[in-house]
Amino acid sequence: MLTSLSIKNFALIEKLSIEFENGFTTITGETGAGKSILLGALGLVLGKRADLTSLKNKEEKCVIEAQFSISKYNLQSFFESHDFDYDAFTIIRREILPSGKSRAFVNDSPVNVSDLQELGVYLIDIHSQQQTQELSDEKIQFEIIDAIAENGDLLDEYSLLLKTYKSNKSELQKQREAYSNAQKEQDYNTFLLNELVEAKLVSGSQEDLEEQFQQLNNVEFIKENLEKSLSLAEGEQFGVSQSLKEIRTSLQKISNLTTEYNAISERANSVLIEFEDIVSEINTLAEQLVNDPEQLELLNQKLQLIYSLQKKHQVNTVEQLISIQSGLESKAFAVQDLEDAIAKLETALENNEKDLDKVALHLHQRRQKAIPVLAEKLVGYLVQLGMPNSQFDIQLSPKENYFTNGKDELQFLFSANKGVGFGLLKKVASGGEMSRIMLAVKAVLAQYSKLPTIIFDEIDTGVSGEIANKMAFIMEEMSANMQVFSITHLPQIAARGKQHYKVFKETIDNQTQSQIIRLTHEQRVQELAEMIAGKDLSEAAINHAKTLLN
């Protein structure tokens, strides 16, 4: 529950601090006195957007601080999950700096405004005329029925399952698109791969083939030069070998005369040995040389195939072709992997759907049980509120689609008068009827909800007399289980408050300021009398006010 509220430098409020109690609290004041300012301040505490227009003095910061008693509302897990410091008396502070920057604190620890908004949902429900109109929204109607059905845990389970289902469905769509694209390329990739596989490419083979081709293609020219070399080397009279032998013999004759002659003799001998080895190798090469046109043609075909593949794939080496072949093989495996992944995701989706269907059915069944309970309770309250012929026809239809809260569609039909057919709330209910229906809804929800505080902002719009008394009674009844505030213009409702606050304007130092005070018994009599008869009070108005209070 809200235990205190302090406001500094906000709108028409320079500074105020006020404490609240549990039970039923009423707030009154003339139009424009500043009741909406209080709601605006609370809205900021609960995480609503702030701007510089909220500052009374643009040179100073605005500070709004609210204290809540939350020990009875099992919020420890929420505080832990959001890394908030838990305290049974939690203080929320919101600051708006002159620069326009906004800051939020929970128990003096800085927090994000989005987290503050989540916490606010568990602390206060501020009911406005706009919220009354939202009663026609299917989402709000489901929230009402699910609260009666106590579907909170089931909805959490369904939400997690739906998140997984949507994730798997999205992934399956991506994999199917990837598979479709891969299939379109598969035939061409297979053709390219087969070409490369049939080429039997080996790293370094191109250079070997080119050498073999050059040798066979120039066999006559090579043979001619090898034979010429042998002739020059082995000629009997003037052959190089014979000449080298004679040189070696001559040098050997003087080799033991000096070390210098010996060294050159050994070098000549080495040259002769090396030259004889060269001549031997030339002989071997000449003997191996064969003119083979068929082998030449085969080599040419292999090389032309490699050149053709290099041109097609725009590369220069066999190694690059082998890399392309490896990539094409990977793509072939990828198609198979995609098929496997798609099969697994399809199985997972089937299981997701079974789980979702099971939880959705459970939700549907519990909603079906809750609907007559809700309708009966609503009608009971509306009878008290002067709508004795009210009827609800709440239709729940299971569908095939997975919605955010199950598989149901909902029609919330209403009839206020006998002999009049059912219609959608927003079409058949007047403004005053909608206010009474909303109060009935809140009164029913108060029996199931653990919400600490609710604030009704002029929910009595469009009603008067005895109906106002009944509305006050219902709100007073609700306050047995929760803290209830009612901002009202009706004396019948204002008089039923356990405590009564008045919002008013006054001029201080030539500046208009909004103030709020808790009224004493005598002040309440005065306030109620003015609400009944205006500023010119009569004894009858005062007696009426006293009667209302008693």
HEC per residue, 336-384:
HHHHHHHHHHHHHHHHHHHHHHHHHHHHHHHHHHHHHHHHHHHHHHHHH
Residue pLDDT, tens place only, 379-438: 999 999 989 999 999 999 999 999 999 999 999 899 988 888 899 888 888 877 888 888
Q: Does 539 score more than 70 pLDDT?
A: yes
Three-state DSSP at 278 gives helix
Whether the pTM exceeds 0.75: the reply is no
Torsion angle, alpha carbons of 416, 417, 420, 424, to 10 = 0
> 18-22, 111-115, 241-245, 278-282: which range is least confident on average?
241-245
Given the candidates 1.20.1250.20, 3.20.20.70, 3.40.50.300, 1.10.260.40, the CATH classification of the domain at 1-123+451-519 is 3.40.50.300
- Placement of tokens 């009564």 in the chain: 500
CA–CA separation, 181 and 185 (whole Å): 7
Using N-to-C axis directions, what is the helix angle for 318-384 and 152-198, rounded to 10°?
A: 160
Residue pLDDT, tens place only, 303-353: 777 778 778 878 888 788 878 877 766 666 667 777 888 999 999 999 999
Domain ranges for the chain: 1-123+451-519, 180-336
With beta carbons less than 8 A apart as the criterion, state whether 89 and 4 touch: no
Per-residue confidence band for 201, with pLDDT thresholds at 50, 70 and 90:
confident
CA–CA separation, 315 and 324 (whole Å): 10
